[in-house]
Amino acid sequence: MSMKAILAAGLTFASLTAGAVQAEQVKIGIAAEPYPPFASLDSSGKWVGWEVDVIGAVCAAANLDCVLTPVAWDGIIPSLTGQQIDAIMASMSITEERLKTIDFSDPYYNTPAVVVADKSMDIAATPEGLAGKIIGIQASTIHQAYAQEYFKDSEIRVYQTQDEANQDLYAGRIDATQADSIAMADFVASDTGACCEIKGTVADDPEILGRGAGAGVRKGDDALREAINAGIAKILEDGTHAEITSRYFSASIY
């Protein structure tokens, strides 16, 4: 038996056990952690939220057979390059840094970054206003890159999920958090977020903060990128995007 034959046999075995489908199914990677109102798990084990609806609409418009595949956020790019998923649609901002590793579709939403802190705290969304304070941020996000670049006089604590940072803001372990404005608006409107308010928008830096959230695909996977682009264009044009947005938000976020 040649080496190749052995490998082939092993692979057939692996594919059998894996229940392999060498199919046209597109695995859309989403963050396995709740990120309301974009994507969160309800108690029946279903993913719901604005982004989940948009993924459904884009896939339908582009005629793709999509499956949602939850992946740990801080390993989501390795999962894409390691081929465990085919595309990332997890509110990932299109940044220069990420473009070195993966490709992006056109953006499908864009929101500014804000700083949230306890109502009683005297905090502004500037390096001076946050000096000496403890800021919690989610790992592997534009916010982490931004905070490390600009808030050098603050203590930065890195969380695996934004939800954990929110929880610690509520617990009082951190003074402030920087995150996406929509997600934060949702948080301060919740019971736990009642402690806190949005202190302001951080000064823009397109280099770090990117130009909106897009679908990440492997470098060179142009077919999928084009298909997703077409899907996004279509739902923007026929009003599906606006319709989904109106179900969750009062204003457009495109």
Partner 1 sequence: MSGLKSLMQPHRILLMALFGAFVLWCALSLRWDWIPKYAPLALEGLWTTIWILVVTTVLGFLLAIPLGLAQAIGPWYLSAPARLFCTVIRGTPLLLQIWLLYYGLGSLFPQFPWIRSSELWPYLRQAWPYAVLALTLSYAGYEGEVMRGAFSGVAKGQLEAAKSFGMPRFTMFRRIWLPQAIRNVLPTLGGETILQLKATPLVATITVVEIYAVSSRVRSDTFIVYEPLLLLAAAYMVIAGLIALAFKRFENQVPERR
Partner 2 sequence: MVLEWLGLAESAALLSLSAPGWGMNLLRGLANSLQIAFGAFGMGLMIGLFGAYGKLYGGPILRDLLAIYTTVIRAVPELVLILILYYVGTDLINKVAQMLGYGRVEISGVVAGIWVLGIVQGAYATEVLRGAIQAVPPGQIEAARAYGMPAFLTMRRVTIPAMMSFATPGLANLWLIATKDTALLAVVGFNELTLETKQAASSTRAYFTFFLAAGGLYLMVTLCSGAVFARIEKWARRGQPSLREGGS
73 vs 146, beta carbon nearer partner 2: 73
Which partner, partner 1, partner 2, none, binds residue 43 by CB below 5 to 8 Å per kind?
Answer: partner 2
Q: Stretches 9-17, 92-100, 132-140, 149-157: which one binds partner 2 (CB under 8 A)?
A: 9-17
Q: Stretches 31-39, 59-67, 137-145, 200-208: which one binds partner 1 (CB under 8 A)?
A: 137-145
The answer to whether the CB of 247 falls within 8 A of the CB of 240 is no
Which partner, partner 2, partner 1, none, binds residue 118 by CB below 5 to 8 Å per kind?
Answer: none
Taking the complex as a whole, the smallest distance from the CB of residue 7 to partner 2 amounts, in Å, to: 6
Q: Stretches 27-35, 59-67, 162-170, 220-228: which one binds partner 1 (CB under 8 A)?
A: 162-170
Among 60, 134, 188, 233, binds partner 1 (CB under 8 A): 134
Among 17, 172, 223, 250, binds partner 2 (CB under 8 A): 17
Position 79 contacts partner 2 (CB under 8 A): yes
Taking the complex as a whole, the smallest distance from the CB of residue 74 to partner 1 amounts, in Å, to: 6
Position 181 contacts partner 2 (CB under 8 A): no
142 vs 215, beta carbon nearer partner 1: 142
